[in-house]
Amino acid sequence: MTDMTISNLAEYIGILVAIIGGGGVLYSKLKKWLAGLFSEQMNKIEIEIKSLEDKIEISDMQSCKNFLVRCLADVERGEPMSETEKERFYEQYEHYRKNDGNSYIKQKVDKLQLEGKL
């Protein structure tokens, strides 16, 4: 075995510290680069998700409106609603009102309530 001196030991430690330090810098740069890359991709995905959420909300309100109009037309024609149908009607009506639905449905509901049909 060769004799190891303090200067050899210091040299090995210096090399080890340089390797670890270089690895740390490389890791940091790589992490930053990947974060930027993923951030860019995530922004695109978030924009698409928001667009889909908006479309779903519009579709939901249109379906809700269709249901309410159909129920109101049935009531106007004198077709009775069961208690379950009334519960569902009022659930949808509340949902419609909470989401700023048009006033013509509210006016029709108010009119039918005054007439005792709803």
Q: What is the pLDDT of residues 60-96, one digit of tens each?
A: 999 999 999 999 999 999 998 999 999 999 999 999 9
Q: What is the tens place of the pLDDT at every residue in 36-63?
A: 888 888 998 999 999 999 999 999 999 9
CA 21 to chain centre: 41
SS (H, E, C) 42-108: HHHHHHHHHHHHHHHHHHHHHHHHHHHHHHHHHHHCCCCCCHHHHHHHHHHHHHHHHCCCCHHHHHH
> Which of 42, 59, 41 is CA-nearest to residue 99?
59
Global confidence as pTM: 0.65
Backbone φ and ψ of 62, nearest 5°: -65, -40
Q: What digits encode the pLDDT tens for the residues 7-20?
A: 888 888 888 888 99
Using an 8 Å Cβ cutoff, are 90 and 67 in contact? no
Separation between Cα atoms, residue 65 and residue 96, nearest integer Å: 7
